[in-house]
Structure 1
């Protein structure tokens, strides 16, 4: 009688995943924490609202430009070297911001941090795809997706406490111990498992990617305060569209493009990418909508708003490995469809609550939403990448992580625009209530598309 051997993940691989995850987590914590500090920064540096928002927009823009180079970087440079460079870049940005004497210096620090996060984020998933046994792939991808999942929920609470008690500079300096631990684990744990190949960087693709994201990110950011047909919105969105069309044309003309959009020829991959994009858009849009509603409509403090949404992040954290285990044992249909169904029901529940004054009821429903998101998000990512051959997985990972950044920016900007338009025609409280209900409707429509796409795409999987 033979006994089946339990397949384990090597300790060094776990250390490598934790190291890159901590670095990515630090980036998300800074991004979400500093949103709380915007009023303070506006006062300290005498800058208006539209200017201070570039603290987040510039950071996301740099990440969106760097992430598409991840397949090239992985192929050309050792993983450990990439990680050390990413960690040192992010740490440098932390000190630049912590010591900033003006707003320009603050922006430079955020850009340097974006360079580090842009390298680290896809590196984590590349390590999981290459070095985790197939039987544990779903579980480890679920754990890896805890990082972007829990960060937006923890950030406002963390930021509210630190900014209130210690000042905004402490947000940056408080992450130094985390970065030191990350660096130590990465140096010990990250190992090279694939052969390197020196290739030329596709500068044409990189230029078109810059045009694409500068246009789209800037256009969506300006959507709240400018008319659609203005050059700040319509002109920049047109620039983004031209960059996108140029990138598709360029991709099909050369053998090894920087971002291989030919992967979209695979129908299953394209459908899962659509689900991934809309899920991220909904989640980041809702993460903006709920704290905003709790503060402006229910007149709660920023700190209490962060505390109310905090349990939802923990719910997502607990659900992610559960979804991964279900994926490993039962296949993708059950965790993805169950998770997306829970998200849709939660959004309907939030709409049904209407202009409820009980913020804790909103927080309770949000727990179920984040649990559904945590259960499905990593499984969608794993299923989309596992359907590609080994050589295409790094490119697929680059596409996913690139779209993740853009989806977050798009979701936040669309929801902010909807709420802002409602506030123009009503009082701040009533406008926020009406805009929030309209925002829920947009998210519900998106969630229906996600669930329908999942049912059609995955019905023959199990």
Structure 2
């Protein structure tokens, strides 16, 4: 990495906060709107599988745009990308706050997805480029805090706003934050890396779109339709074929959109696996626990949001703490500690699933999220530090892309397991049994995480 002064300038901090605030707004909308789905279904006369596209279209667009981040960063100034991204996001928010129909609402969400897809990698690129090595872990943790606290407060905020003001205010209330982000970004974002002339391979773009369209669509239907149907099996097969073709094409291009040669670095590949499985577990939890609180314990969506909120806040707070531990102790200790807390929490949840009170859910989930908070930023930092500096933008593109897909996959798999149990039985007990089975799957993932950590995460951070 380039030599840097040990102090962090005010402009660099402003740039990180600006890009982080925009990502924060993107996650807030996603998690808050889930609570408003019943009202949207009633107001616009759409079914459950249609209203889910409020989330699916957003995640799909983000997953398609994020892989382009390395090319975009090479061709365009960082400030130009940021202003374009936030302008699109503000446009999408205005459209959604005034949408006369559900399809206009979806259009707004798609435009927001383009903005988020452009901006999401910017914050971590700025951190890796402009933060001194001695403070890298802490600032990566701070970046994860900004985006990590959004899922914690999103469901509760969505419940309060929808109940008291109406769902349109979920979008309206974001506008002041987006304007603050815009002004901070215009003032603070600086160009530190030289621009390069790189060509955009349109065949790769098409293959990326087919890959994620097939995967997201297929897995989103997993809990409702047979695996052998074209909506699930056919869509996933189409996505897999496109992904294989994308890999083959990328290996023959000098400057591919996604450079799969990075995975010949076994340390980076192992970190990516840890990151992917951790994200799957976390989004699986985000689906399982609120549904358990509502369907098994018989509480409202607002109560469910309040029960899980302390854990989300705890996880966000421990993100910079985990980063600080990385700076002092190296990556392995905070990562092993975090994974250990995750494993212990899942064991407890699996044991008590059939009789969980809201209080026990709140308490045990705090331990899980604290562990996850310690891990995520540390794993990202250690993964990118395992690459040469000129490959870190590509590595960041992979991590941000897989984060979106892992969330969709984790939610879909846990939803499928619970749905299978509900079909075999009825009432709260069937949901509880399905939740227990899903916890067993998540525990297997955590065991895989622990084994991989032991094999690939170094004791000290060595940047190339």
Band of TM-score, shorter chain:
over 0.9
Could you tell me how far apart the structure 1 residues matched to 2:404 and 2:266 are? 23
Q: Per-residue displacement from partner, 1:214-259 (whole Å, max 9, x unpaired)?
A: 0100000011111001000000000111011001100111111011
Within the alignment, does 1:203 sit opposite 2:230 as a pair? no
1:402-417 to structure 2, matched below 5 A, reads 402-417=401-416
Counterpart residue number, 2:143 = 144
1:322 CA displacement: 1.0
When residues 166 and 401 of structure 1 are mapped into structure 2, their CA distance, relative to the original with a 3 A threshold, is same
Counterpart residue number, 1:384 = 383
1:49-60 to structure 2, matched below 5 A, reads 49-60=48-59
Counterpart residue number, 2:360 = 361
Could you tell me how far apart the structure 1 residues matched to 2:6 and 2:126 are? 17
1:459 CA displacement: 5.7
Q: Per-residue displacement from partner, 1:63-92 (whole Å, max 9, x unpaired)?
A: 000000000111110111111111110010
Could you tell me how far apart the structure 2 residues matched to 1:328 and 1:461 are? 9
Counterpart residue number, 2:189 = 190
1:357 CA displacement: 4.3
Moved over 4 A (4+): 459-462
1:293-442 to structure 2, matched below 5 A, reads 293-442=292-441
Could you tell me how far apart the structure 2 residues matched to 1:354 and 1:119 are? 40
Secondary structure, counterpart of 1:254 in structure 2:
coil
Secondary structure, counterpart of 2:354 in structure 1:
coil
1:151 CA displacement: 1.6
Counterpart residue number, 1:243 = 242
1:149 CA displacement: 2.2
Could you tell me how far apart the structure 2 residues matched to 1:147 and 1:56 are? 21
Q: Per-residue displacement from partner, 1:105-137 (whole Å, max 9, x unpaired)?
A: 010000000001101110111000101111111
Secondary structure, counterpart of 2:401 in structure 1:
helix
1:314 CA displacement: 1.2
Within the alignment, does 1:282 sit opposite 2:281 as a pair? yes
1:428 CA displacement: 3.0
Could you tell me how far apart the structure 1 residues matched to 2:438 and 2:227 are? 19
Could you tell me how far apart the structure 1 residues matched to 2:8 and 2:307 are? 36
Contact 2:198 2:255 in 1 (8 A): no
Contact 1:153 1:287 in 2 (8 A): no
1:21 CA displacement: 0.5
Counterpart residue number, 1:164 = 163
1:294 CA displacement: 0.4
Could you tell me how far apart the structure 1 residues matched to 2:301 and 2:180 are? 30
Q: Per-residue displacement from partner, 1:306-336 (whole Å, max 9, x unpaired)?
A: 0011101111122111110111111111011
| Structure 1 residue ranges without an equivalent (≥5) | 1-5
Counterpart residue number, 2:216 = 217
Could you tell me how far apart the structure 2 residues matched to 1:441 and 1:272 are? 23
Could you tell me how far apart the structure 2 residues matched to 1:254 and 1:55 are? 35
Could you tell me how far apart the structure 2 residues matched to 1:461 and 1:26 are? 34
Could you tell me how far apart the structure 2 residues matched to 1:309 and 1:426 are? 27
Counterpart residue number, 1:273 = 272
Could you tell me how far apart the structure 2 residues matched to 1:399 and 1:354 are? 35
RMSD: 1.1
TM-score (norm 2): 0.97
Counterpart residue number, 2:91 = 92
Secondary structure, counterpart of 2:83 in structure 1:
helix
Q: Per-residue displacement from partner, 1:176-235 (whole Å, max 9, x unpaired)?
A: 010011001111110000101122112121111111100100000011111001000000
Q: Per-residue displacement from partner, 1:26-68 (whole Å, max 9, x unpaired)?
A: 0000000000001110000100100100000000000000000
| Structure 2 residue ranges without an equivalent (≥5) | none
Contact 1:97 1:169 in 2 (8 A): yes
Contact 2:60 2:213 in 1 (8 A): yes
Could you tell me how far apart the structure 2 residues matched to 1:245 and 1:83 are? 32
Counterpart residue number, 1:73 = 72
Contact 1:355 1:433 in 2 (8 A): yes
Counterpart residue number, 1:122 = 121
Secondary structure, counterpart of 1:34 in structure 2:
helix
Contact 1:86 1:120 in 2 (8 A): yes
Secondary structure, counterpart of 1:354 in structure 2:
helix
Within the alignment, does 1:42 sit opposite 2:41 as a pair? yes
Within the alignment, does 1:259 sit opposite 2:258 as a pair? yes
Contact 2:330 2:458 in 1 (8 A): no
Secondary structure, counterpart of 2:355 in structure 1:
coil
1:461 CA displacement: 4.8
